[in-house]
Structure 1
Amino acid sequence: MEWQDCTVKMEVDVPASAAYNFYSDREAIPRWMPFISSVTVLPDKPDLSRWSLKYKAFGRDIEYSWLARNMQPIPNQKIHWRSLEGLPNRGAVRFYPKSPSSCVVELTVSYEVPQLLAPVASALQPFLERLLRRGLERFASLAQSY
């Protein structure tokens, strides 16, 4: 299987600390990432979370789930994770202060192209980039009203 990386970044009109705090609520991520249908933090192990992805694309209903471990964050700078089972993926969200009232949020997702999507792997990269960009746009809008 082949791994692909996808990175999007966007300026957000909130301080880096506010963006970091808002993004830290993993269970709220489906509010701005339309293809993530649910995130459930395990009550007995808060560094673990169960994720579900549901989306219709390329003429197919795409559904995957995975268990992820949040790695040790760097407060107000970086949140990162890796999957432990299910859909192989890892990634990071970085927060770069631009001014006292704004920051750049950079989201990188790395994933193993699932066998089901191998025939459309070349189209997957720009497709995922658009999805992530739309998600960051929603995140920026929600974070500003948070």
Structure 2
Amino acid sequence: MSTVSKSVEVDVPVRTAYNQWTQFEEFPNFMEGVEEVRQLDDRHNHWTSSIGGIRREFDTEIVDQLPDDRITWRAIAGDVRQRGSVRFERLDDTHTRVELTMEVEPEGIAEKGADALGLIDRRVKGDLGRFKEYIEGREGESGAWRGRIRPEDPGSAL
């Protein structure tokens, strides 16, 4: 598995950044290659992506979620192997660091080549930059889910 870790500072309070990130169905607005995210319930999302002409559908499960702090997930169904965590760090009343860490298992020769060339790394960096523009360009978050999800297996979180 390849590990990518990137962060961005956003000019919004931690609560605003976190609340917006919980609006998974809006991810196509700032994540390149993500065509659709459907939230199935509090823990599960169905993703459709198309990257480099390769279309993928998969399901993820949130394994740990603490408001204003972190969201940790893993792929559970479909043709994608990944897990990750996004963390939110309050810098001051109006600034937040958002750090995204992902472990991805590239499939096939094209994806392995893209990974070797650093394309996954650049994509994550670009997605965080677009999230910064997206959240800073709004007058506030478009919604929020502030529930707590506890890990069933403490070893499953990143």
TM-score range, shorter chain: 0.7 to 0.9
Structure 1's 143 and 118: CA in aligned 2 closer, same or farther, altered over 3 A? closer
- Distance in 2 between the 1:28 and 1:119 partners? 28
**Partner of residue 56, structure 2:** 64
Taking structure 1 as reference, are residues 127 and 12 closer, same or farther at Cα in structure 2, changes over 3 Å only? Answer: same
Q: Which blocks of at least 5 consecutive residues in structure 2 are unaligned?
A: 139-158
Instruction: In structure 1, list runs of 5 or more residues that go unmatched.
Output: none
Report the 3-state secondary structure (helix = DSSP H, G, I; strand = E; otherwise coil) of the residue aligned with 2:28.
helix
Query: 1:127 corresponds to which letter in structure 2?
Result: L
**TM-fit CA distance, 1:15:** 0.8
Answer yes or no: is 1:9 the counterpart of 2:7. yes
- Which residue in the other structure is 1:143 paired with? 135
RMSD: 1.4
2:101 to 82, 87, 108: 108
Note if 1:122 corresponds to 2:116: yes
The one-letter code matched in structure 2 to 1:107 is L
Cα drift, residue 119 of structure 1: 5.0
CA contact (8 A) 2:74 2:84 kept: yes
1:97 equivalent among 90, 95, 99: 90
Residue by residue over 1:76-117, the C-alpha shift from the partner in whole angstroms, topping out at 9 and shown as x without a partner, is 010111010120111011011111100111011111121243
Report the TM-score, using the length of structure 1 for normalisation. Answer: 0.87
Paired amino acid for 1:101: T
SS of the residue 2:136 aligns to: helix
Q: Secondary structure at the match of 1:134?
A: helix
Q: Give the total of aligned pairs.
A: 136
Cα 1:11/1:28, change in 2 over 3 Å = same
CA contact (8 A) 2:36 2:48 kept: yes
> TM-score with structure 2 length normalisation?
0.81
Secondary structure of 1:72 counterpart: strand
Distance 1:119 1:90, change over 3 A: closer
Q: Distance in 2 between matches of 1:38 and 1:94?
A: 23
Q: Which residue of 30, 50, 53 corresponds with 1:54?
A: 50
